[in-house]
Structure 1
């Protein structure tokens, strides 16, 4: 059988994942965190209710509108997420 694709990388890795659920003033949030192998200062942050993810560092939390954009949240919700992420990143 002829290969249709030239694979650049195909590997299986075991990751340590941290799950955190919390209740804010507005709603419940469920997140998963994985260290980013390519950039040790960042984490892959998965917003499980919204099925969205981003590679984030603490510096990214200061970027205006960044959390609102990547997680598709209102400013009020993004402010809560930002405050939470400052504690755990």
Structure 2
């Protein structure tokens, strides 16, 4: 067996916020992870949908970013985007 070559193997303290809310179109169960690794952006996990993205305010302003990252229709993505604008 060959020796494993790590690009990095770091341990870091993070701050995680778990939040669940009902929107007009669906329920959202999220984990928002704050770390130093992503230059001020948050790791946003959609727990029920099994998807995640590294998101900052600049990403929220990018057309179609939330829709593509979380594979959701525009109406649901707009609810999520509005919430993320408030908490990021």
| TM-score bracket relative to the smaller structure | 0.7 to 0.9
Which structure 2 segments of 5+ residues have no match?
Answer: none
Please identify the structure whose Cα radius of gyration is greater: 1
Structure 2 counterparts to residues 1-89 of structure 1, below 5 A: 4-89=3-88
Give the structure-2-normalised TM-score: 0.87
Structure with bigger RCO (C-alpha 8 Å, 6+ apart)? 2
Corresponding residue pairs, total: 88
Give the structure-1-normalised TM-score: 0.86
| Alpha-carbon distance in 2 for matches of 1:61, 1:22 | 19
CA root-mean-square deviation? 1.6
Which structure 1 segments of 5+ residues have no match?
Answer: none
